[in-house]
């Protein structure tokens, strides 16, 4: 494609640049709730927050690799809880904000965490949502999600052989009311921070994980039951025993 006709990605980057002569321009977006909850969830399970597990950060940074081959043993519930806390656990409460282990622009945290549970001790297979304020998992869709998730992930088989797959979505207006169109950049930055926390925690626990950015967006969103307009799929990561 010629420079005279750039693709939509380049146009987006150009049109969301901060410039001194246009920083004050504003579009109106509704402000939405800081936290998403499923009051009618099939069931809920409380998790242990802040596991306080030992680990050497520098060693984890050195050893971290994308791992796609997993053992068949189920993940333990305490392992999943530790991973969830590392990814999106509340580390400090300040006024109306629950500050997390990963940074977020304006402390708005527009990224939601779902988990497709395949093999986790004490959890039924299905799609679970992390309810941040109470650090609970809410079951929003029962059943084996291995086949539809693998198909949605461009047929990458390890998405079905992992013990669980983390799925992150972005709620657009949770950030756009403040940062307008540039907020879309921040959604992906936030998701990257969260996934790196997950990968380092998995390394510390002796687990394998692999981030995935290639998937059929609409199929992942349908699996989660989100609309693909106001809440969109951003990122996936598989986790399994090594």
Q: Report the CATH number at residue 204.
A: 3.40.109.10
Q: What are phi and psi of 14, to 5 degrees?
A: -65, -40
Q: Is residue 138 part of a domain?
A: yes
Q: Is residue 23 part of a domain?
A: no
Q: Is residue 99 part of a domain?
A: yes
Contact 117, 183 (CB under 8 A): no
Contact 87, 205 (CB under 8 A): no
pLDDT in tens, the chain (242 residues): 455 667 999 999 998 888 888 776 667 899 999 999 999 999 999 998 777 777 788 898 899 999 999 999 999 999 999 999 999 999 999 888 899 999 999 999 999 999 999 999 999 999 999 999 999 999 999 999 999 999 999 999 999 999 999 999 999 999 999 999 999 999 999 999 999 999 999 999 999 999 999 999 999 999 999 999 999 999 999 999 99
Range of the domain at 145: 28-45+56-241
pLDDT tens-digit series, residues 106-124 = 999 999 999 999 999 999 9
Contact 65, 49 (CB under 8 A): no
CA–CA gap between residue 187 and residue 100 (Å, rounded): 15
Q: Is residue 50 part of a domain?
A: no
Give the global pTM: 0.93
Domains identified in the chain, total number: 1
Q: Is residue 9 part of a domain?
A: no
Q: Is residue 76 part of a domain?
A: yes
Q: Is residue 1 part of a domain?
A: no
Beta strands in 27-135 (DSSP E): 43-46, 90-94, 97-100, 111-117, 126-131
Report residue 112 as tokens: 């939601």
3-class DSSP state of 99: strand
> CA angle 204-206-156, nearest 5°?
110
Q: What are phi and psi of 111, to 5 degrees?
A: -90, 130
Q: Which residue has the tokens 């979505």?
A: 169
> Within 13 Å, how many C-alpha atoms sit on residue 133's CB side?
9
Q: At what angle do helices 172-179 and 183-204 cross, to 10 degrees?
A: 130
Q: Is residue 5 part of a domain?
A: no
């Amino acid at each position: 494609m010629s420079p005279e006709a750039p693709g939509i990605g380049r146009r987006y980057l150009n049109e969301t640049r901060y410039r001194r002569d246009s920083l004050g321009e504003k579009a109106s977006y509704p402000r939405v709730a800081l936290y998403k909850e499923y009051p009618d969830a099939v069931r809920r399970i409380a998790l242990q927050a802040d596991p306080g597990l030992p680990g050497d950060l520098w060693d984890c940074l050195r050893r971290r690799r994308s791992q796609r081959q997993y053992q068949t043993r189920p993940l333990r519930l305490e392992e999943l809880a530790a991973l969830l806390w590392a990814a999106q656990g509340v580390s400090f409460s300040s006024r109306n904000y629950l500050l997390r282990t990963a940074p977020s622009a304006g402390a708005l945290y527009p990224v939601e965490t779902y988990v497709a549970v395949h093999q986790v001790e004490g959890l039924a297979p299905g799609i679970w949502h992390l309810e941040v304020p109470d650090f609970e998992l809410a079951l929003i869709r029962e059943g084996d999600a291995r086949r539809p998730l693998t198909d949605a992930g461009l047929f990458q088989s390890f998405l079905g052989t992992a013990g669980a797959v983390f799925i992150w979505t972005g709620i657009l207006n949770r950030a756009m009311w403040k940062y307008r169109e540039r907020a879309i950049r921040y959604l992906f930055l936030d998701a990257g921070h969260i996934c790196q926390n997950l990968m380092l925690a998995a390394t510390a626990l002796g687990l394998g994980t692999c981030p995935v950015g290639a998937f059929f967006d609409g199929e992942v969103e349908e699996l989660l039951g989100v609309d693909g307009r106001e809440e969109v799929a951003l990122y996936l990561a598989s986790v399994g025993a090594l």
